[in-house]
Amino acid sequence: MQVIRFIISNQQRILEYTLNHFSLVITVMLFSLVLWFLTGLLISRYQRIAEPVLSFSNILFCIPSISLYGLFMTLPQLGLGRRSAALALIMYAMMPLVRNVYRGVKSVDPWVIEAGRGMGMSWRQILLEIQIPLALPVVFAGIRVTVVLITGMATVATYIGERNLGRLIQHGIARSDYNMIITGAVIVSIIAVLLDYILGLLEKRLTPGRV
Amino acid sequence: MIQLIDVNKTFLNSPVPAVRGVSMEVKDGEICAMVGPSGCGKTTILRMINRLEEPSSGTIMVGGRDIQQEDPDRLRRGIGYVIQQIGLLPHRTIGENVSLVPRLLRWSEQKIKSRVINLLEMVGLDPGQVYEKFPHQLSGGQMQRVGVARALAADPPILLMDEPFGAVDPIVRNRLQEEFLNLQQQVKKTVCFVTHDINEAIKMGDRIAVLNEGRLVQYNSPLEVLSHPVNDFVVNILGEDRGVKLLNLTRAEALMSEAVLLQESQMDRAVQVLQESGKTVGFIKPNGNESIKYFTLENIKKGMPVKEILEKGTCFIDGFQPVKTALETMMKRNSDVVGILKEDRFVGIITWQDIKKHISTIREHENEC
């Protein structure tokens, strides 16, 4: 009850934080998808750079989020706020996205590709009509993990000036205000679950007819 | 027509060439069965014909044109390709799979659809049942039929088949082989058929190319390969039962002793009549429904009276059937002779002795080499 009362009396602020949070996640995801999808395709085609790229993404992923935020913040071109936060989150998205795109493309039965080549499909047709469609389930698994991950990590960006749901949690902790903490946590979770659910529906639409 | 002129191939990171100096020609409408142990280069040769591999040196001509001058994708659209693993697109229906090449060639939807239905019927599938299905809903044999249909879709003059029936069980394989041979009668494609199974090569090939360590060891008709293997390697690959296999490839009429027709009244002069005609078998024209009676010069020479040596011919086979069938008939009927028919007329006999003699000529040749 108290939580609800808290939400009602702080409507304006919560709405602002939620929208900020949401838009940060969406921005990061859009950039990440384009960037890391292409990177994944690239390394699946040029095997020699696959290993170094994947290792690099692993190392990035191992850096604690708060230190990466901190590092980017100190760069004059980035500074406090959204730019540093978005860039750090895009870096985190690299590992699960690149790896799943790579794994998805690589998991396509090589004989199907062989048959496609033998039939006279160009490499572009093989990519668009065979490799990408068949990689989609694995790619989607990666996208869904990434969305949940980014939604959670975005909360920490409050420490470099992002006005999002993380701020409710941060301030809640500072003031020992349970209602505030719970509100922030629940809304973050709802966003994560919701995005994951929507992606699940999308996946079903895009991959018909298979077991 | 497919021509290979002094083709060599050495793979990167490999000290040994995979294909060495292979020159051969596959005539239009013929099935060339390429056979040899694994690593003999047969698949590499096949993949060079549609440029999935590039030769290190040498020339390959398809339909009189050097394939190096052609765009690889365009070239491949004009060459059917069937592989053991089939490689159907798992996310596309059977109809979509079969229509792959026609779509690449931008045929009209209408034309594609009727062609696909036609093809599925040709390979023995019910279009109504399988058209909308996905590959995983089909059995192995059905999938390979789809593979063949897909390769034939744009009616290419040439078909490359890499162990196409290798992954199905022996019963289905046998049926697919026979169906393909029947289909080939209609479509008359120029086929390169890779197999490691000599029996399959003998069955499918109009000509057999025996390969070893990248070299073409022998390239001949199955009959020629079986009766005149060029060296020990070919003898080995043909196996212990080469003679029996050969019996399967020789028509019974080739070993037959021709018969001469005698009238009942000529019986007393039977020997004379036979000798005059230069034939070794005589038979008596049967009255009505009686079975044919015949005798052989050999028996007469043993001094038996003609009346006693008259044998009743009860088992007959058609002259175009293989000697193996004659042998089998003999075993079944416990007889030493089988009558040979041609267009339903008795023309001669084939005896156990004839077959033995035939086998011994093979053996003699074997000792020579």
ipTM: 0.78
Spell out which residues of chain A touch residue B81, defining contact as CB-CB under 8 Å: 115, 118-119
Cα(B51)–Cα(B69) distance, integer angstroms: 11
Reply yes or no on whether the pLDDT at A50 is more than 90: yes
Band of the pLDDT at A46, cuts 50, 70, 90?
A: very high
Q: Distance between CA atoms of B282 and B280, rounded to whole angstroms?
A: 7
Give pLDDT, residue B282: 79
The parent domain of residue A45 ranges over: 2-203
Is B101 in contact with B73 (CB distance < 8 Å)? no
Amino acid at B219: Y
Interfacial A residues in 171-210 facing B (CB < 8 Å): 207-210
pLDDT score for B346: 79
Can you give the pTM of this predicted structure?
0.79
Domain contains A31: yes
Looking up residue A166, the CATH number of its domain turns out to be 1.10.3720.10
Does a structural domain hold residue A208?
no
pLDDT score for B288: 64
**For residues A60-69, average pLDDT:** 90
Cβ-Cβ contacts under 8 Å, B86 against chain A:
111, 115
Top-level CATH class of B2-249? alpha beta
Q: Within an 8 Å CB–CB cutoff, is residue B104 touching chain A? A: yes
* Choice between A23 and B359, residue whose per-residue pLDDT is larger: A23
| Rounded distance between C-alpha atoms, residue A6 and residue A10, angstroms | 6
User: How many domains are there within chain A?
Assistant: 1
Average pLDDT of chain A is 92
A-B CB pairs within 8 A amount to 71
Question: Which candidate from B85, B136, B150 shows the least CB-CB separation from A111?
Answer: B85
Q: Are the beta carbons of B85 and A111 closer than 8 angstroms?
A: yes
Domain boundaries, chain B: 2-249, 252-358
Residue A75 lies in a domain: yes
- HEC readout, chain A: CHHHHHHHHCHHHHHHHHHHHHHHHHHHHHHHHHHHHHHHHHHHHCHHHHHHHHHHHHHHHHCCHHHHHHHHHHCCCCCCCHHHHHHHHHHHHHHHHHHHHHHHHHCCCHHHHHHHHHHCCCHHHHHHHHHHHHHHHHHHHHHHHHHHHHHHHHHHHHHHCCCCHHHHHHHHHHCCCHHHHHHHHHHHHHHHHHHHHHHHHHHHHHCCCCC
Residues 22-81 of A with CB under 8 A from B: none
Residues 23..82 of B with a Cβ closer than 8 Å to A: which? 50, 52, 72-78, 81
pLDDT for A177? 92
Separation CA B340–CA B180 (nearest Å):
30
Q: Is residue A30 one of the residues assigned to a domain?
A: yes
Question: CB-CB: which of A119, A122, A209 is closest to B81?
Answer: A119
**pLDDT of amino acid B364:** 67
CATH 3.30.930.10 fits B252-358, yes or no: no
Using alpha carbons, list the distances in angstroms from residue B292 to B93, B197, B277, B311.
60, 43, 20, 8
Q: What is the pLDDT of residues A124-150, one digit of tens each?
A: 999 999 999 999 999 999 999 999 999
| Partner residue opposite A134 with nearest CB, options B73, B91, B150 | B91
State which residue of chain A sits closest to B99, comparing Cα positions: A119
State the average pLDDT over residues A66-75: 89
pLDDT along chain B (369 residues), means of 10: 96 92 96 95 96 96 94 95 95 95 95 96 94 94 95 96 92 91 92 94 93 96 89 91 81 83 75 78 71 74 70 76 86 83 81 83 63
Neighbours of B256 (CB within 10 A): 22
B residues 128..147 contacting A (CB < 8 A): 134, 136
Please tell me the predicted confidence (pLDDT) of residue B307. 67
pLDDT above 50 (res A211): no
Nearest CB to B101 within list A119, A122, A130: A119
